[in-house]
Amino acid sequence: MDPRVTEQRNPRTADIDLASPLELVDLINDEDRLVAAAVATQRVEIAQAIEWAESAIRQGGRLIYAGAGTSGRLGVLDASEIPPTFGAHYELVHGIIAGGHAALTRSQEGAEDKPAGARADVDAAKVTPSDFFIGIAASGSTTYVREALARARELGARTAIVACSPPPAETLAVADLAIVAITGPEVVTGSTRMKAGTATKLILNTISTGAMIRLGKTYGNLMVDLRASNAKLRDRSERIVAEVAGVPRDQARDGIEAAGGSVKIAIVMQRLGIDREEAERRLAEVGGVIRRLIPGPPPPVK
């Protein structure tokens, strides 16, 4: 039997090819229910990853993901969603995928088996000792991920592996932290885009979102560092400032403009009655965390 849990047969879905559409939904949903519990077993390790990601970014480094196939796509997806959500620079969270950008939309067979490609990709990303480098491999044994981790470690970066099957010793040897959520055999044998992919997304969401919150990108649970790059986000920005500062919508709009488009700075200016320069200075002094300047939570949800 293959030692990789993600490659084993699932006895609960042995007759799935005979299932009706409704039975298919129920079978897959029953398996998906196991995912959150598997992720919860890694709560301490995920919390450590949040701490390391925050520390890396505060020191001028980055959170970097590397993976192949579904794992690589999930890393790139998570990285790409951070800038519009939290107003972070596009390189602050960076995703590397075996086979390059072409692999995002079309499978690049064999790319995950090329150690030289992994090392070249890590070098191209200019990994430094300030970075936190996370390898993602559902099976825990992907050659590309192991070699990427090894190279990142050689360059001085802190490293972690995210997997859904116990990684082999050679992978654990190049990871400072192992986050291993055992999701069990897949509905379709070996199809790690399913439970393993869902678990991976939950883990990456938690690490990146947790790090951004720790960096002061929210006030309570409000996104105050978002980039108002479209009509929906402009509307959300104005609503946040109006709600938090207790001002009319037009005043909130003017406040955001006076703050150079920054929701966070507009809130501090409005709440403390100070100008933009002073708001920026005070926020810098407290690491960008509004709650350290304005005691108490934002107004309660109505």
The one-letter amino acid at 24: L
Tokens of 206: 């938690």
- Which residue type is seen at 126? K
**What tokens does 99 get?**
């086979």
Query: Measuring CA to CA, which residue among 234, 210, 208, 237 is closest to residue 222?
Result: 237
- Is 54 marked active-site? no
Catalytic annotation, pick one of 31, 112, 238, 280: 112
- Told to judge if 81 belongs to the known catalytic residues of this protein, a careful annotator would answer yes
Q: Which residue type sits at 184?
A: G
Alpha-carbon distance of 275 to 286, in angstroms, equals 17
Catalytic pick among 7, 45, 51, 81: 81
CB 264 within 8 A of CB 275: no
Q: What are φ and ψ of residue 219, in 5° steps? A: -125, 110
Distance, in Å, from the CA atom of 144 to the CA atom of 70, rounded to the nearest integer, reads: 13
Residues involved in catalysis: 81, 112
